[in-house]
Amino acid sequence: MREVNNVTEGKVDILAFGAHADDVEIGMGGTLAKYAEAGKKIVICDLTEAELSSNGSVSIRKREAEKAAKHLGVLERVTLDIPDRGVYLTDETISKVVEVIRQYKPTAVFAPYEQDRHPDHGNASRLVREAYFSAGIKKFNPSSSVHKASHLYFYMINGFHKPHFVVDIENHLEAKLLSLHAYESQFNKGKNGVATPLTDDYIGAVKARERMMGKDAGIRYAEGFFSYNTLILHRDLLGE
């Protein structure tokens, strides 16, 4: 894992976890672009190097991931060494994610929603949830300082579910799409590639999902989320 640099040392606003590079962009790229534009400090952590991907390679995926992060305005991207298809709840994996949370001290943590066709996504959801809790326990790995993030949210990757809330991304949809197109090895079959669900106009399907998510809320494009904690309204019920 890369060390904290001077830009992101200490507290960040958002720490978004994905099992593989491109998970975060698929689920919440527009939201990250929106908050980055507002001046928030954002870090992405990919749990694996996605070494088992049908197309591309680890080195290609890393270059694409850095390019995608720049489109979104993300300050830093880190990658853990958890094996691809080995995202399981173990003392070791929980400790690795806990250390990232304690290192960056985020206000909000994001992870994949647990209902997803890819087992790694559901496992990543459960792993981050465990680490989110354990990061605030003083006697858990006491060699590092505890940190209790204020919020834990979950984003959708492959599924379409009724969310707890949505974020309006109409003005940031283009940044999201640019970040996805950065993953040429994944979303374009290419000359020597193999067909996968990602090469079958997956980006178009994601755009259509965000359109439907927005339409359901009375706006054009939105990304949907689930909250681990009970949400508190800071404005009255009429939004005034």
Q: What is the pLDDT along the chain (240 residues), one digit of tens a residue?
A: 344 444 445 699 999 999 999 999 999 999 999 999 999 999 999 999 999 999 999 999 999 999 999 999 999 999 999 999 999 999 999 999 999 999 999 999 999 999 999 999 999 999 999 999 999 999 999 999 999 999 999 999 998 999 999 999 999 999 999 999 999 999 998 878 899 999 999 999 999 999 999 999 999 999 999 999 998 877 666 655
159 inside domain:
yes
Q: Name the CA dihedral angle for 188, 189, 190, 193, rounded to a multiple of 10 degrees.
A: 140
232 inside domain:
no
Boundaries of domain holding 62: 14-227
Query: Looking at the whole model, is its pTM more than 0.85?
Result: yes
161 inside domain:
yes
Q: How far apart are CA 212 and CA 222, in angstroms?
A: 8
Give me the CATH number covering residue 31. 3.40.50.10320
Q: How many domains does the chain have?
A: 1
The reported pLDDT for the residue numbered 2 is 41
192 inside domain:
yes
238 inside domain:
no
108 inside domain:
yes
The reported pLDDT for the residue numbered 6 is 42
54 inside domain:
yes
240 inside domain:
no
* Rg over CA atoms, the chain: 17
The reported pLDDT for the residue numbered 9 is 55
The reported pLDDT for the residue numbered 189 is 86
